[in-house]
Amino acid sequence: MSSYGCVRPPAYVRDCIIRNDSDGHVQIRLIYESSPEDNNSTSHSVVHLGQGQIHRVDEKIVDHGSWTAVQPLQRIEVTRSDGQTMHLAAPFEGVNTVVRNWLFVIENGTIKSTGRSS
C-alpha cells in the first residue's frame, strides 16, 4: 500500500496594487523570490508614492532563454518620510492561491494585505 503526501497548491502574489493611505510620502521597496535558475540573486524594485497615491506593480518576469518564469512578490518594505520603517512578508494574509491585482494598503503604522482590487 502506498501513501501520498498532500502538496499544497502554490500561493503567491503575481502583481498588485499599492495604495498609500498614510499621512505622508513613502518609499516602497518590493523584493521578489529568487530561484536557483536566477543564481539565487534577489530582485527588487523601488517605488515612491505621495499621500493618497496608488501604484500598480506589474508581475516580475524572468527570461531564461527558452522559457520564462514569474518571480513572486516576497516582501514589501516601506520607509516613511519621517524615517519610520515597516515591512510585510509572504505569506500574505488572505493569499491562498496564485493571485493578481492584490491590494496592499499603507497606513501610518502598518501595511495591510486587503484582497483583490476591483
Nearest Cα residue to 39 out of 64, 19, 15: 64
User: Which position has the grid cell 493569499?
Assistant: 95
What string of DSSP letters covers 39-68?
Answer: TT--EEEEEEE-TT-EEEE--EEEE-SS-E
pLDDT digits (tens, 9 = 90+) for 31-58: 998 776 666 677 899 999 999 999 999 9
In order of their start, the domains of the chain are 12-116 (2.60.40.4150)
Low-confidence ranges of the chain (pLDDT < 70): 1-4, 36-40, 118
DSSP state of 34: -
Task: Name the amino acid, one letter, at 57.
Answer: V
Percentage, residues of the chain above pLDDT 70 = 90
